[in-house]
Amino acid sequence: MNLICRVGLAANSNTIRLIKTIIDKIEPTPDRDQVFYRDEQLKGFALRVSARGVKSFVVEKRINGRVKRMTLGKYGNLTVESARKEALSVLGNIARGENPIAD
C-alpha cells in the first residue's frame, strides 16, 4: 500500500486535513527530495516532508506573479495549531500588501 492511501489521500492529491494524527502517519518518500501536503482548510498552509523524514510547516503564496514559500518551523517544535495561527498571520500580512517572504 502506498503512502497516499495510508494517510487518507485521494490518488494524485496532496491536499489533506493537516492534523496531528495524520501528520504522525506520514512517512518520507525516498525517491523524492521533498513532498508537500497542503491543508484543505487553510489555503497557502502546508507540510513539507523531506526524503530524510524532516517535517516542516510552510506558507506558500503567489506574490508579484511568482510562488513564494516561507518555512514556519519544524513539526515537533511547532504544533499544528500554532503553525496554523502563524500561517494565518503571514497570509494576513500578505493580504494587506506586505511581503514577508521577500527574497
**What is the per-residue pLDDT for 53?**
96
Q: Classify residue 24: in a domain, yes or no.
A: yes
Decide if 101 is inside a domain: no
Give the DSSP per-residue string, 44-56: TEEEEEETT--EE
How many independent structural domains does the chain possess? 1
**Residue 55 resides in a domain:** yes
Is 81 contained in some domain? yes
pLDDT of the residue at 72: 97
Q: Is the pTM of this model over 0.95?
A: no
77 is a domain residue? yes
pLDDT tens track, the chain, 103 positions: 333 333 444 334 589 999 999 999 999 998 999 999 999 999 999 999 999 999 999 999 988 888 899 999 999 999 999 999 999 999 999 999 888 877 5
Radius of gyration of the chain (CA): 14
Within 2-100, strands assigned E span 15-16, 34-39, 45-50, 55-63, 66-74
Return the pLDDT at 7. Answer: 43
CATH number at residue 75: 3.30.160.390
